[in-house]
Amino acid sequence: MRAALLLAALLAACAPTAEEPATEPSPAAVEEWVVPASIVGEYRVAGIDGEPLETDFGIALSITEETIGYEPRCLGFAWTYSLEDGRVETRRDPAYGPQPAPGGGTVTCLPAVSPQHRALAVAIDAAEEVRRTPANAVELRGGGHSVTLFSQ
């Protein structure tokens, strides 16, 4: 009985009073981002352009020291990049995508891809900065686009 009263008193002491409403994190606290020294890793795409990726499939994105990419790379979903102090510059990797065919013409792969695959490419093309969010996600953003990534 005594332990129950002590627990109730402790819980009451921690709860906000009528004069002291519960506070939510300030917008400034939500926007506290950390500049990562490296973004190398394997990620799942959690969101594109501020919207969650709510599909019956996932998109895995790989980042090495020099490249960013996801499948099907043969459609050009591959970039080289540079990262310095949170500023990122992406460039489509010319080794992927349509290739010249012997004797002229172009050779490309023709897998079906979702609109989300294409929207992801647009967002990576536009990326200008990289930050780690308070939720420990990596976010690339720029040009009105964004990509939210969580480690796998």
What is the C-alpha to C-alpha distance for residues 63 and 38, in angstroms, rounded to an integer? Answer: 10
Residue 122 lies in a domain: yes
Residue 26 lies in a domain: no
Kindly indicate the confidence band of residue 107, based on its pLDDT and cuts at 50, 70 and 90: confident
Q: How many domains are contained in the chain?
A: 1
* 1 in Cβ contact with 8 (< 8 Å): no
Q: Give the CATH number, domain containing residue 133.
A: 2.40.128.270
Residue 1 lies in a domain: no
Range of weakest confidence among 8-12, 62-66, 121-125, 132-136: 8-12
Q: Are strands 138-142 and 67-69 parallel, antiparallel or unpaired?
A: unpaired
Closest CA to 1 of 130, 47, 9, 145: 9
Residue 73 lies in a domain: yes
pLDDT tens digits for 56-106?
999 999 999 999 999 999 889 999 999 999 999 999 999 888 777 888 887
Tell me the residue range of the domain where 147 lies: 41-151
Tell me the average pLDDT across 113-117.
Answer: 94
